[in-house]
Amino acid sequence: MTPDELLAVARESASQAVVPYSRFPVGAAVETHDGRVFRGCNIESASYGLTICAERVAIFSAKATGADPIAIAVSCARGNPSEPTSLTPCGACRQVMMDQMGPEAKCYVDGVGTFTVAELLPLGFRLPPSVATSPE
Ligand code: THU
């Protein structure tokens, strides 16, 4: 899938956002190593801190099927292109991208551009291999 095609899916996904508090819909689309595409949208909670962002919904949805995300597209329908930071992923999602996709994976940000995860999260935290053992 091309970056533009993945961005188109991200835009569509924003239409499913559950945003009664912020009224700020976000859509995401993840492409996996085996060519599948997983969608995400932000889902807000009456207990505000339980809200989850579109990016994490898409990444976790892919992981839940055993697929490996290799690229992600993000679209903030009501972001303002003259303020790019109203369109770029939050810090929590950047860490999850680092955890689940690695530093070289691509992130396509609608209206802003293409970044590697390492560009979005310089010096992002990773557990050292001596500590990060894989679960049995
Ligand atoms: N939001 C996302 O879905 N992704 C981001 O990267 C930034 C913020 C959501 C969370 C909340 O529902 C709304 O946008 C306003 O912050």
Measure 33 CA to ligand 1 centroid, in angstroms: 26
Q: How far is the CA of 134 from the centre of ligand 1 (A)?
A: 30
The minimum-distance atom of ligand 1 relative to the CA of 17 is 12
pLDDT for residue 4: 98
The pLDDT of residue 32 is 98
Ligand 1 pocket (Cβ < 6 Å) reads 19, 22, 24, 26, 42, 44, 51, 53-55, 89-90, 93
Residues 6 or more apart from 56 whose CB is under 8 A from it?
40, 92, 93, 96
pTM for the full predicted model: 0.95
**pLDDT tens for the chain, residues 1 to 136:** 999 999 999 999 999 999 999 999 999 999 999 999 999 999 999 999 999 999 999 999 999 999 999 999 999 999 999 999 999 999 999 999 999 999 999 999 999 999 999 999 999 999 998 887 665 5
Q: Ligand 1 centre from 133 Cα, in Å?
A: 31
Domain boundaries along the sequence of the chain: 3-122
Q: Do the Cβ atoms of 53 and 92 come closer than 8 Å?
A: yes
For a mutational test of ligand 1's pocket, the pick from 15, 16, 53, i.e. the residue with the most ligand atoms closer than 8 A to its C-beta, is 53
Residue 118: phi and psi, rounded to 5, are -65, -35
What would the two tokens of residue 57 be? Answer: 């919904």
Under CATH, which number does the domain 3-122 receive?
3.40.140.10
